[in-house]
Amino acid sequence: MNSLDGIDISSMISDRADAIDASGIRRIFALAATLENPINLSIGQPDFPVPQAIKSAAINAIENDVNGYSLTQGLPTLLSKVNTWLKHDLGWDVRTVNTPEHEGPVSFISSGTSGALVLAFMALLNPGDECIIPDPYFVAYPHWATLCGAKAISVDTYPDFKLTAERVAPLITDKTKFILLNTPSNPAGVVMGTKEGKELLELCRSKGVLLISDEIYDEFAFSDATTETCVADANMPRCPSPARVEGAQDDVLLIRGFGKTYGCTGWRLGYAAGPKAIIEQMAKLQQYTFVCAPAPLQAGVEACFDTDMSEHVAEYESRRDLVLSTLSPITEVATPGGAFYAFIKIPEHLNMTGTQFAEKAIKEQLLTIPGGAFSNRDTHFRISFATRRDKLIEGLDIITRLMTP
């Protein structure tokens, strides 16, 4: 008779799993579990409901039995809309990943932008390889490299949080496979300028390194950061991106999604577009991991391309301005050009780490995320202004009080 009695279960855990720490965000949630009605400035999720047209499209798909698997690469109708949009926005001639006669950029639908990025790491990194990421970074970036037996080399981007070519260049080695840019960024909301993005892409080209552009927040760019326009519509303001540089479709892997812009984060839907050789490998890996993105929800987000979110973006820009006007007089805050985050420096006179500040804020019923969750430093903390304005004002008042001598 087989029995687990006496077996050291902990010894069965793989090195790759054991090498990954629990997210600092999870630790804050655990500390806050006993709070009854906290002021939550921690969660990176829009506070508006999914627009009705998008919900209705998903409901209709479910009721019409679009409930089985889709093709691994995604519903053809959604892919058609994605490819049309990329042509309109960037001028890329994108086809579906399974178009054999097409040698240009191709696309597929992923299980969230995180799903696309996981597949990109898996498709590109061998054990011992390196990739370059910004510091601060989205919490998962270094851990995905660890899962592949590779190493993420972080670039110190303080205090403006921009991944510039000048900062990146000294870190490129013969082990470097790609550079990962996130713009607008999480946790700082900072947007790379047109010149900065072009210089970074030119560096990648000169070194034979791929540039991955994580643009999950590309639609959530504010008026002072939208210095570009659609290729096909000069009246439509757009966020700068290295994907807009001439010929970028040949050496930029573009990752975008639907969850942050349209409030459907739990639907787990994104897409990737770029060089065919890479996208084909990512789609193959998806077949044996995620299988496909949720089919009825793919049908739902087809309605995104006809949904105007400018009112919500304007409201978030107004909240951004409130954060800056309140906190800039008392500490350093890099101006968020998009997304819905601010990465706030803890004044030196407090002599506190980001973790210590976040723990002190919890005692005031306020949830924030310490900077150490996103960085090798713990000198800042992140807030999300994707919350009701009255709650945001309450939270900013508490932060002001905690920072004032």
Q: Residue 93: how many CB atoms within 10 A of its CB?
A: 12
**Amino acid, res. 382:** R
User: Within this chain, do residues 39 and 84 fall inside the same structural domain, yes or no?
Assistant: no
Place 18 in a pLDDT band, splitting at 50, 70 and 90. confident
**Can you read off the two tokens belonging to residue 33?**
């579990």
pLDDT of res. 5: 65
What is the CB-side half-sphere exposure of residue 176 using CA atoms within 13 A? 24
* Residue linked to tokens 């044996």: 288
- pLDDT tens, residue by residue, 275-320: 999 999 999 999 999 999 999 999 999 999 999 999 999 999 999 9
Place 188 in a pLDDT band, splitting at 50, 70 and 90. very high
User: Within this chain, do residues 175 and 321 fall inside the same structural domain, yes or no?
Assistant: no
pLDDT of res. 33: 72
* Residue linked to tokens 């990465």: 343
Place 102 in a pLDDT band, splitting at 50, 70 and 90. confident
Owning domain of residue 35: 13-49+309-403
Taking Cα atoms as reference points, which of 63, 87, 106, 46 lies closest to residue 282? 106
Residue 4: inside a domain: no
Residue 33: inside a domain: yes
- pLDDT tens, residue by residue, 139-157: 999 999 999 999 999 999 9
Look at residue 189 and give its three-state secondary structure.
coil
Is 1 a residue whose pLDDT tops 50? no
Place 2 in a pLDDT band, splitting at 50, 70 and 90. very low
Question: What's the pTM value of the predicted model, to 2 decimals?
Answer: 0.95
Is 404 a residue whose pLDDT tops 60? yes
User: Within this chain, do residues 301 and 324 fall inside the same structural domain, yes or no?
Assistant: no
Single residue among 274, 290, 306 that ends a domain in this structure: 306
User: Within this chain, do residues 213 and 136 fall inside the same structural domain, yes or no?
Assistant: yes
Return d(Cα 360, Cα 47) in angstroms, integer.
25
User: Within this chain, do residues 176 and 201 fall inside the same structural domain, yes or no?
Assistant: yes
What is the CB-side half-sphere exposure of residue 216 using CA atoms within 13 A? 30
Q: Identify the sign of the CA torsion 230, 234, 235, 241.
A: positive
